[in-house]
């Protein structure tokens, strides 16, 4: 059987979600926290984008979909969620965030770019305190962490929607992934000199698609992704042990920049679940070396 006629089974899809990469979610302060004035509307926007992706995947051949609510304080409105799916919330603190062997593909909706990304909207890694995170000298964010876990488990990474900077990040890490950009950041610069709160404010500028238009594009993109994945072999990141994790954290009012380095001989998921042991960054030269990934 030649490659062009081969068909790959994609029936079980796991969708990771976040709130900052959703069209119409304007900033962190007013939209992304439980007490934010527009938090309910933000959840509605995210759930609509998820439903659009779900519809596209089902139309493309999916038979089972699990939606993981990955936003810290919660981002999905269960009442508005497509009745054909199940919702995952509360998988504990470790990677791979409830993703298990047996799923055929993993997708992202509402994802933001990693920390330090120029022209990104609400970019960060876990929290605003991260300056950079790298595995084997590859700088990654929340998307990259789960995508590497999926690759170790043999689960294909096929789709992601969020701000334009995120889509470029995803395409660089996973060649062949289908992406949809629903907004684009307007602020240049990595913001390395800023503390966490100042960095949060820096990331607030963006140009958004109207939410209904974003959903239309996501539905079409999800259908393209699953259709392509059924005939094209893509979506697994090549992982080469041993593994080394380097994390650099922003300065705060109480402490300078810190870093932490951990290693594992064979298992990237085990490495990601290792505790940090922060130490002060000793010089600008050391910082530059750790950020050049």
Q: What is the CATH number of the domain that holds 181?
A: 3.40.50.10780
Q: Is residue 286 part of a domain?
A: yes
Count: domains in the chain: 2
Same domain, 165 and 26: yes
Give percent of the chain with pLDDT exceeding 70.
98
Looking at residue 292, its pLDDT comes to 78
Whether 32 shows a pLDDT value over 50: the answer reads yes
pLDDT band at 2 (very low <50, low <70, confident <90, very high): very low
- CB-based burial of residue 143 (10 Å sphere; 0-12 exposed, 13-18 middle, 19+ buried)? buried
Among 188, 203, 229, the domain boundary falls at 229
- How far is it, in rounded angstroms, from Cα 108 to Cα 180? 10
Token look-up 């409105």 returns 77
Whether 55 shows a pLDDT value over 90: the answer reads yes
pTM: 0.95
Q: Is residue 236 part of a domain?
A: no
**Average confidence (pLDDT) over 178-204:** 93
Cβ(16)–Cβ(22) below 8 Å: no
Return all residues near 47 (Cβ < 8 A) that are at least 6 apart.
Answer: 76, 77, 80, 81
Same domain, 54 and 191: yes
Q: Which domain holds residue 276?
A: 243-291
């Amino acid at each position: 059987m030649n490659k062009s006629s081969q068909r790959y089974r994609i029936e079980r899809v796991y969708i990771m979600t976040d709130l900052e990469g959703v069209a119409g979610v304007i900033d962190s302060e007013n939209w992304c926290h439980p007490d934010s004035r527009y938090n309910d509307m933000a959840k509605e926007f995210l759930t609509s984008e998820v439903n659009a992706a779900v519809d596209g995947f089902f139309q493309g051949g999916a038979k089972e979909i699990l939606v993981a609510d990955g936003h810290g304080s919660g981002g999905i409105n269960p009442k508005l969620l497509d009745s054909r799916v199940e919702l995952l919330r509360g998988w504990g603190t470790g990677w791979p965030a409830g993703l298990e062997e047996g799923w055929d593909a993993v997708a992202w909706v509402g994802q933001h770019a990693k920390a330090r990304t120029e022209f990104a909207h609400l970019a960060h890694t876990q929290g605003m305190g991260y300056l950079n995170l790298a595995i084997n000298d590859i700088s990654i964010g929340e998307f990259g962490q789960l995508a590497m876990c999926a690759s170790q488990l043999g689960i294909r990474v096929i789709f992601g929607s969020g701000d334009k900077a995120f889509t470029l990040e995803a395409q660089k890490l996973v060649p062949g992934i289908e992406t949809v950009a629903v907004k684009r950041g307007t602020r240049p610069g990595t913001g390395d000199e800023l503390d966490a709160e100042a960095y949060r404010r820096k990331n607030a500028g963006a140009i958004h698609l109207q939410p209904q238009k974003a959903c239309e594009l996501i539905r079409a993109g999800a259908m393209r992704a699953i259709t392509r994945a059924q005939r094209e072999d893509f979506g697994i990141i090549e992982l080469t042990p041993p593994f080394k994790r380097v994390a650099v954290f922003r300065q705060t009012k109480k402490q300078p920049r810190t870093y932490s380095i951990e290693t594992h001989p064979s298992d990237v998921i085990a490495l990601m679940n290792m505790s940090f042991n922060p130490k002060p960054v000793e010089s600008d030269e050391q910082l530059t070396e750790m950020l050049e990934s």
